[in-house]
Each structure stands twice: as C-alpha cells, then as structure tokens.
Amino acid sequence: MKICFACSEVVPLAKTGGLADVCGSLPIELQKLGHQVSLFLPAYRSAKQTGLKLKPTGLKLEIPVGPKMVPAEILSTTLPDSDVSVYLVDQPQYYDRPQLYGESGRDYPDNCERYVFFCRAVLEAIRSLRLEPEVLHAHDWQTGLLPTYLKTEYAGTPPYDQITSVFTIHNLAYQGRFWHWDMLLTGLDWKHFNWRELEFYGQLNLLKAGIVFADALTTVSPTYAREIQTAEQGCWNPATDRALPRTYSVRNWKEGKAACKAALQQHSGLEVRADLPLIGAVGRLVSQKGWSLILPVMQQWLPTIDAQWVILGTGEPEFEQQLAQLQKRYPGKLAVHLKFADELAHQIEAGSDMFLMPSHYEPCGLNQMYSMVYGSVPVVRSTGGLFDTVVDATPYNLERKQATGFTFGPFLSESLEQALARAVCCYHSQPRVWSQLVETGMSLNWSWSESARKYEQLYERAICLRLSRTPCQ
C-alpha cells in the first residue's frame, strides 16, 4: 500500500505532545510491514533546527488561501533510522515562529489560515510529486480539511479520486474552532457551513470537518472512544536509548536506573541521593494534564516530605510562574525545566522512580507507557488511555502480577496525594513489591509494530468501504 501521513507534529522535528510520537513512530512500523509511506509536516523553525538535513525538492507551489495566492516550497528529509520520506511545507510567514501554535498561553490569531494553507499545500504536493497514495491519514484539527477537500473540491479528480481518507482524533478538546468568516479562507462553498458539516454553534470547526468527511475515523484508545461519545518501542527503549548515560533492560534495571537517576539529579542541580524517591513529570503544563492538582500537592510536600521532583514542559503562564517560584524556594528538592527537550524527556523517564500523570482526561497518553518501559512506576488518574494501560497496585492485582502503577479516580488533589503517598510508602517499605511493579511494567509490549498491524487492517477496510460504499467483511 502507498500511505501518506499529514501531521502538525512529528518527532524529532516538532513536538508539543503525544501526537508527535505517534506520527514519528507509526509510519516507520508501517514501512517495516512492506508499505510505501510518506509524511507531510509544516516547515516550522524547530524542524529546521533539529540537525536533520533538509533538502529542496525543487517543487514550488502557489496555494490559494481565501482571495490570495501564497507561495510554498517543499523540502524533504527522512525520519531517522528509516526510509520514510518527510516532506516539509515551507512558508516562513506562517511557520518561522518560536512555537508551533501560539505563545504566552495564546494561540496565534492566524492559525486557521496557517493550516488551511498546509492542507491545500499537501494535496497539491501529492499531485506534483506523483505520490499517488491509496490512503491519506490525517491527524487532529490541523489536518481536518484534508478529508473535506477530497470529498468536495477534489472529488472525481485524479489522483484524488483514488485516495481513501482516515482521520484520527488525538484530543477532542482541541477542535480548531474559528469565527465563521474564516470560512472564506478555506475556499469551500458556503453551503458546507451547516450544522451537519463544518458549522458548530456559529463557528467554523475544523475537527468536525475531518470527522464528517473522512472515510474512516479512529481515536487513540478504546476508553477514550467511549468517553468522547459521552464526555520494539522505536526510540523509546532503555536498552538502546542513546540519550541515556547508561542503557539497561529488565534484567539489569536496578544498576541502570541508579546510574540514570544520579546523572539526572546532577544535571538538574538536585542533591545526588539514591534513597530519596525522584518524581518525574513531562508534558504540557496545562489544566488538562492535572496541574491544578499537582501544584497543591507539591506545595504541601516540598517543605515536609523527603522526595525530589523534576519537571519538564511548557504551557500556561500561571503554572510556569508557580513552578518557577517553588523552584526558588526549594532548589534542592525541585528542578523545573521550562522548555521542550526530547533527550531530557528520555532521561527523566529513565532517572525518575515514579512518573506523575493525573490528567483530567487523557485520550491515549504515551508518557505513562514510556515510563513503564523505562521502569518508572506511573501514578495516574484512571481516565481514557491511562485507565486502559495502568493497572493499580491492589493486593488482587499484585498477587496475579498484573499491577504496574498507582491509580486514583476523583479529580481532586486529595485523591492524587493519597495515590502518591501509596507509591512513596511502597518505594520505601516494600522493595520486593516495588521491584515487581517495575519488572511487570518493563515486560509489557507497547510495540508500535502491533499498532501498525491494526492500522494496516483499518486501511484495508477503509479502502473497501470507500469503493463499495457498504460495510466490509
């Protein structure tokens, strides 16, 4: 099969969350299954600064955005350790910016225009580069117009009439909602601005566009799929991870994690102590990720509990400021890194004893799976993908050697504090149980190759459905 991905984030070129990990790993595994895979990404400033060699393809396009034509140049590279072609849509006016979507807690005001341009450029480049994909896999609101254009403006036109669209919802909270006059930017007929298609309470909704027009829809976990109707690990492998000061596996994790912990403490300016539990957190500093719960617990624990914390991420200014203030007050116990740093993320997963992820909701969540692979025991709220992947350390689950972490239900600081206290107590007083939790988690198979096989089957069913317009067997 010829498969083309269109994504707004791809590791290692651009990342704010798990979307980047999916789009950086799944194409490689699909290629290993024998498929011809290519990928499109905006040519962000960060993408040009990764060190990957970007080459001009010689392709220059004029893309319609509302009443004007905007030039685009297509650059190319490959995903590391693969032959997956990456095509970057270059337009400095839109993408040469410090961040991907916005700064100082505010979205860029022209985000609709930026991703209308991206979607149209992808479709024009597919034709000009003669990629002829059978499947176009779009991800989240930034690419929601791709299935829409295929069913409207490009319908019946080669090579687009042979393309099946698949649309994946990674996070329903981010919908790409814009004022209704931005409909003019899309170039679509106003007849599509109705409650069944692109209109949502008087606004243009790009996520809805993808949901309505795609040939097949997926979400990133079974529980999340239910919730939104009501409300080899690639580069993540501690045995081969070049970002770690010492690699390790489930057979020698104690020595390996001890070395990684000491290195992380030293790098972060924390006291190098093996006896203190080191609590890690990596990701966006936003309400969805539970920072309204974490900060009260930190304020309570830092002056009284012998534990260390290391935080990596950027997000809402309020949370960044509170963390910076806490770090000044407790420099020996708390290290805060307000940035995106992929290597440091790996080092935190490897060097921390437990990993914190008390999300208000979590479509899939990847960091909790990475933490288990790296022997960092997750402390999470039971929601969405976290519920699907982390098994609570109850006596029943421990007896059956199924437990992998500590979970809680109510979205309350008190509930988080109780789960974290359980984890710290186990770390100090039940070393055998702790070792069992680590080894059970490290032995699980979160391989992207298994996901690739499932997507392979989905693509085949979607193609069948598009061709027959009836359910496939």
User: What is the pLDDT tens value at each position of the chain, 473 positions in all?
Assistant: 999 999 999 999 999 888 898 899 899 999 999 999 999 999 999 999 988 999 999 999 999 999 999 999 999 999 998 999 999 999 999 999 999 999 888 899 999 999 999 999 999 999 999 999 999 999 999 999 999 999 999 999 999 999 999 999 888 778 999 999 999 999 999 999 998 899 998 999 999 999 999 999 887 665 544 544 543 334 588 998 889 999 999 999 999 999 999 999 999 999 999 999 999 999 889 898 999 999 999 999 999 999 999 999 988 999 999 999 999 999 989 999 998 788 899 999 999 999 999 998 876 667 888 899 999 999 999 988 788 889 999 999 999 999 999 999 999 999 999 999 999 999 999 999 999 999 999 988 766 676 788 888 889 888 888 887 644 43
- Give the dihedral of Cα atoms 108, 113, 119, 125; nearest 10 deg: -110
Q: What is the 3-state secondary structure (H, E, C) of the chain?
A: CEEEEECCCECCCECCCHHHHHHHHHHHHHHHCCCEEEEEEECCHHHHCCCCCCEEEEEEEEEEECCEEEEEEEEEEECCCCCCEEEEEECHHHHCCCCCCEECCEECCCHHHHHHHHHHHHHHHHHHCCCCCCEEEEECHHHCHHHHHHHCCCCCCCCHHHCEEEEEECCCCCCCEECHHHHHHHCCCHHHCCCCCCEECCEEEHHHHHHHHCCEEEECCHHHHHHHHHCCCCCCCCCCCCCCCCCCCCCCHHHHHHHHHHHHHHHCCCCCCCCCCEEEEECCECHHHCHHHHHHHHHHHCCCCCCEEEEECCECHHHHHHHHHHHHHCCCCEEEECCCCHHHHHHHHHHCCEEEECCCCCCCCCHHHHHHHCCCEEEEECCHHHHHHCCECCHHHHHCCCCCEEEECCCCHHHHHHHHHHHHHHHHHCHHHHHHHHHHHHHCCCCHHHHHHHHHHHHHHHHHHHHHCCCCC
Give domain status of residue 297, yes or no. yes
Beta bridge partners of 60: 73
Residue 418 sits in the same domain as residue 454:
no
How many residues belong to the chain? 473
Give domain status of residue 111, yes or no. yes
Residue 98 sits in the same domain as residue 195:
yes
Residue 345 sits in the same domain as residue 460:
no
* Whether 37 contacts 5, CB under 8 Å: yes
Give domain status of residue 135, yes or no. yes
Residue 267's domain comprises 253-445
**Farthest CA pair distance, the chain:** 68
Give domain status of residue 239, yes or no. no
What's the pLDDT at 222? 56
Query: How does pLDDT run across 322-361, given as a tens digit for each residue?
Result: 999 999 999 989 999 998 788 899 999 999 999 999 998 8
> Domain with 324 in it: what CATH number?
3.40.50.2000
Q: How many domains does the chain have?
A: 2
What's the pLDDT at 344? 94
Residue 207 sits in the same domain as residue 222:
yes
Give domain status of residue 248, yes or no. no
What's the pLDDT at 450? 67
Residue 111 sits in the same domain as residue 88:
yes
Distance CA 467, CA 228 (A): 29
Assign residue 472 a region: left if phi > 0, alpha if psi is -120 to 50, beta otherwise? beta
Distance CA 64, CA 56 (A): 22
Residue 407 sits in the same domain as residue 459:
no
What's the pLDDT at 461? 87
Strands 406-408 and 278-282: unpaired
Q: Is the peptide bond before 410 cis (omega within 30 degrees of 0)?
A: no
CA-closest candidate to residue 183, choices 139, 229, 148? 148
Residue 441 sits in the same domain as residue 453:
no
Residue 418 sits in the same domain as residue 398:
yes
Residue 37 sits in the same domain as residue 168:
yes
Backbone angles phi, psi at 37, to 5 degrees: -120, 135
Residue 337 sits in the same domain as residue 412:
yes
Cα(first)–Cα(last) distance of the chain, in Å?
Answer: 19
Give domain status of residue 374, yes or no. yes
Residue 416 sits in the same domain as residue 462:
no
Residue 286 sits in the same domain as residue 209:
no
Give domain status of residue 343, yes or no. yes
Distance CA 367, CA 369 (A): 5
* Whether 355 contacts 427, CB under 8 Å: no
The pTM score is: 0.64
Give domain status of residue 244, yes or no. no
